[in-house]
Structure 1
Amino acid sequence: MKPLSRELKIYSSLLILLSSVCLLFWIIYKPKSPDEIFASNFQPYEAPSNFRGNDLTTMDNDYILGLIEYDQGNYPLAISLFEQTVEKDALNYSARFLLGISFMAQKDFDNAEPILKQMAEDPSHLFQDQARWYLGLIYLSDENEDNDDLSKALFDKIENESLRKKVKSL
C-alpha cells in the first residue's frame, strides 16, 4: 500500500479542521427557536405592590385582587379580574397592560397582541416602551418570520435604557 502524499495529508487535516470549526460554530451560534426565544426572554412585568392608604381607597377591588393574583402567578384569575377592571374603567392603563402580560404569560399571543399593540401606539400612558418590548417579543416568538421586521421596528422606538439593553442582548 502506497503511503499518502504530503499534500493529501495537509488537505485532509485542513478539511477535518474546517469541519470541526463549522460544527463548533453551529453548536455555539445555532439560531434559537421561537419557543426558546420566548422562554429565555419573557419575564412578567413587576407590578406595583406597595400602595398607601389614600391610594387603596380609590382603587377598584377587582384591580387590587387582580394584582394579588398576578403577583402569585395565577394568570387565569388575574385575567378575569383585569378584564372586569378595564370594563369599568377603560383608562386604567395599568390593568390593561397587566391584562396583556397575563395573556402573554399563558402564551395566549392572540389575546395579548391587540392589547399590547394598542398600548404601544398610544402615548398617553407610561407603559408605551414596555408594551413595545413585550409586543416585539411576541413577534419574535411566533412562527411567522415576516413579524421579525415588525419586532425590529418596535424595538427601534424604545427609549427606556434598560429595555434597550434587553433588546441588544436578544
Structure 2
Amino acid sequence: MNKRSDKDSMCFTPSDRPRVFHKCTHANGCFLDEEASALMIPMPMAVQNRFKGELRILMSKACMGKLDYSENARGKSPVSPCRSQPDIWELRLNIRDQKYRIYYSEQDGAPDFVALRIHSKKIARTDAETNRLQDNEMRLAQERYTEYKPQRWGHEDRHCRYCITPVSEERK
C-alpha cells in the first residue's frame, strides 16, 4: 500500500460536479451533531457561534475542494491522512487555543465525504501519550466507518438532512 499524503485528499481538488459531505448517523441521530453539541456546552455563546460557523465553513471548503495551506497560521495542512487508520482522514480546526479534530472518510461517489467523529484534541505530557489518545479517537472513527458502511452511513440520495450544503464564497 502506498503511503497517503495530505495532498492526495479531495479537499484540495475542485470537482466538475457538486460533492456531498455527509454526517454519519445511527438509529437515533447524528454522531457529529451530538459530539459537537457536547463540545459546545462549556463555551460562551459567542464562541459556540464561531465554532459552528468555522466548522461549517471548513467542511464546505473541503467538500468544494477549496482548502489550502495558507488557512492555517502554522503553515500546516488543514487535512491529513490518519496514521493509524487506513480509511480515515483528519480535518483540523483551531479556535482560540483549542484544537478540534474531525475524522472523516473520502469515497468516489455519493456521499463523497463522511464525517465520523469530532473531538477536542487532548495534549498530554508526552508526544507518545498525546498520540495514544488521538489514536483511540481515530480507532473509534474507523469502527464507525466499518460498522455503518453497509448502510452508506445513513445517507439518503435525495434531500438528506445530514449532508452539508457548501457555503458559497459570496456568503462569507
The answer, yes or no, to whether TM exceeds 0.5 is no
Max radius of gyration: which structure? Answer: 1
User: Comparing both chains, which one has the higher relative contact order based on Cα–Cα distances under 8 Å and sequence gaps of 6 or more?
Assistant: 2
- TM-score with structure 1 setting the length: 0.26
Whichever structure has more strand as a proportion of its residues is 2
Structure 2 length-normalised TM: 0.26
